[in-house]
Structure 1
Amino acid sequence: MKTNSGMGFEGPDDTLQRRRDGDLERLCRGDAIITAPVEDGIERIEARFCGNGFSPHRHDTYALGLTMSGVQTFSYRGATRFSLPGRLIILHPDELHDGGAGDDAGLTYRMIYLSPERIGAALETMSGFRNLPFVQAPVIDDPALRATLADALGELDAEMGELKRDGLIADIAGHLLRLGDAGAGCKPGPVARPALRRCREYLAESAGTDIGSETLEAISGLDRFSLARQFRAAFGTSPHRYLVQRRLERAKAMIAAGETLAGAALSAGFADQSHMTRHFRKTYGMTPGRFQTLAARHRPSTLSKPST
């Protein structure tokens, strides 16, 4: 058996299926798979197909995806499924499935692959649940999970980083529990507000430095997944997102004061200027360069004093 968490491993009838569908792996113009940097075993991809993409196979991971364009069709648990743009896909470990475009217009979708060990560990520390959640419907429309997946899959050309990664695992695990059979009637746990305030203050004061989950665990006394859940419950956002916002505030102020874009990015704690630009545009609705131009028009000019 051939294992591969991102691309799956072949099912027992894979050879027969390939013989029945002789053109199954025929490439069409525009077919492509874009892979993000693998981080701590987590894989993210964008796939584009105009026909059949994958023959029947299994993953040893949870596979969660977002249909971007086209009609996504696949066989799963004895039925043919369809997903339209904006719909979400949840495939469970060791479930045989295939995949491809449902019509001639082609298909684009994005997926993230998470090991069941990660989901289980996050749920046990956050909620005390030991059993892995199972979501019956493989195609759903859930705004909360969609927002989390859009965040996870929005920038495939860049690494997520530990703080964002841990927060996303906690969020996804919570969504799976909420949507699955085991989550019926489950209630959120308590919130350690004094510990969370200490973390928030540290994030604000140290936004220009590289902050990892271990640091916040030491400050709060909470494990990273409980911290991510409770921080969002208390402040309406994740620790990573809060940190990015504080960095953007610093960068924006420096740019308005005349600092270069590259200098503002590095001083505020971003990896580079392009990293800052992506977040700046999503938060303020314009690029840092445009903001720099607009701010410069109202910056007081430095005038030399007349000689006496």
Structure 2
Amino acid sequence: MSKHHIDWIHHAPGSGRLERIEAYFSGNAYAMHRHDTYAIGSTLAGVQSFAYRGSERHSLPGGTIVLHPDEAHDGQAGTGEGFHYRMIYVEPALIQQILGGQALPFIKHGISTDPRLHAATRTLIQHMDSPMDTLEEQDALFDLAHALQACADKLAGHASKQHADYQAAERARAYIHSAMTDNISLDELARHSGRDRWSLSRDFRLLFGTSPYRYLTMRRLDLVKSLLMQGHTLVNAALAAGFSDQSHMSKHFVKTFGLTPLRWLNMHGKSSIIRP
């Protein structure tokens, strides 16, 4: 346990479909931020505290953390002992591929004691030192999507009663991936999706949990992280990913991940390879 006196993050190897991490923090972990994925996981030891939807939450071993896409939150140790946890980051598009274009499941309080969610999550956060078999991961994602749906707050809002054009929103999402370094407009997305721009914007938020612009920004940040891990400079990574400059990228990085790019690299033991 000696390594638990120093903050660390370990990324599980393998999957290109979802991110799996194990981490320990002794004090303040993340500033307020929001990302466009579900963050789902379990506290293994200590008290994992975070501000979420206007209240302070405290996760203990045995429960399941479920943070909805684009909901602001932070993270810190609830006691002087620090906290140890495992988390997966699941793109809403993966949930949509399983549920078929329904409103995203919403767990109101950010922490669930439902054993169905705990069981579905456990499969995905085990064996963090080795990749999951492809079929094992796909089966686990299927179980997780349906557990989320079964445990979701049925009174989260009227959005679940709205009709959304899933195929049009998916065409817009695919176009963003194909042109993410370009200056994309909502009119372009509308043309490629076959949906009028305001209906598309509403459907995109309902189905993928964030706006088209935020989704584009996140994909650019994913590219930035990949380039930084390969040793690219902050400036080059920012420009290659479609940001106007390093400052613009860094501002979005902190808002999204709650860490500066340099602290994020330091947590991964990579900061020494980055030149200013």
Whichever of the two has the greater Rg, that structure is: 1
Q: CA contact under 8 A between 1:51 and 1:100: conserved in structure 2?
A: yes
Is 1:47 matched up with 2:23? yes
User: 2:144, 2:155 → 1: CA distance?
Assistant: 13
SS at match of 1:98: strand
User: 2:104, 2:52 → 1: CA distance?
Assistant: 19
Of the three residues 106, 109, 123, the one matched with 2:85 is 109
Is 1:92 matched up with 2:64? no
Partner of 1:22: none
Shift of 1:181: 3.0
Shift of 1:41: 3.0
Of the three residues 7, 29, 32, the one matched with 2:5 is 29
Shift of 1:109: 0.6
CA RMSD, 1 decimal: 2.0
Shift of 1:182: 4.5
Is 1:120 matched up with 2:96? yes
SS at match of 1:181: coil
Partner of 1:75: 51
Name the CA shift for 1:158/1:101 in 2 (closer, same or farther; >3 Å).
Answer: same
Partner of 2:123: 151
Name the CA shift for 1:182/1:38 in 2 (closer, same or farther; >3 Å).
Answer: farther
User: 1:29, 1:44 → 2: CA distance?
Assistant: 22
Q: Which deviations, in whole Å up to 9, do the C-alpha atoms of 1:64-100 show, x marking residues without a partner?
A: 0101010010011111111111111000111111001
Structure 1: stretches of 5+ with no match in the other structure? 1-27, 185-308
SS at match of 2:146: helix
Q: CA contact under 8 A between 2:14 and 2:132: conserved in structure 1?
A: no
Q: Which deviations, in whole Å up to 9, do the C-alpha atoms of 1:31-70 show, x marking residues without a partner?
A: 1111101512310001101101111111110110101010
Shift of 1:133: 1.2
Partner of 1:177: 149
Of the three residues 32, 42, 55, the one matched with 1:66 is 42
Is 1:131 matched up with 2:103? yes
User: 2:118, 2:64 → 1: CA distance?
Assistant: 7
Is 1:140 matched up with 2:112? yes
Q: CA contact under 8 A between 2:46 and 2:84: conserved in structure 1?
A: yes
Q: CA contact under 8 A between 2:37 and 2:69: conserved in structure 1?
A: yes
User: 2:17, 2:29 → 1: CA distance?
Assistant: 23
Is 1:163 matched up with 2:135? yes
% identical equivalent positions = 44
User: 1:120, 1:85 → 2: CA distance?
Assistant: 29
User: 2:14, 2:71 → 1: CA distance?
Assistant: 23
Name the CA shift for 1:108/1:96 in 2 (closer, same or farther; >3 Å).
Answer: same
Structure 2: stretches of 5+ with no match in the other structure? 157-276
Q: CA contact under 8 A between 2:26 and 2:83: conserved in structure 1?
A: yes
Shift of 1:144: 2.0
What is the TM-score when the length of structure 2 is the normalising length? Answer: 0.53
User: 1:51, 1:172 → 2: CA distance?
Assistant: 30
Shift of 1:140: 1.4
User: 1:169, 1:41 → 2: CA distance?
Assistant: 10
User: 1:121, 1:153 → 2: CA distance?
Assistant: 21
The one-letter code of the counterpart of 2:151 is L
SS at match of 1:137: coil
- Provide the aligned length of Structure 1 versus Structure 2: 154
Q: Which deviations, in whole Å up to 9, do the C-alpha atoms of 1:224-252 show, x marking residues without a partner?
A: xxxxxxxxxxxxxxxxxxxxxxxxxxxxx
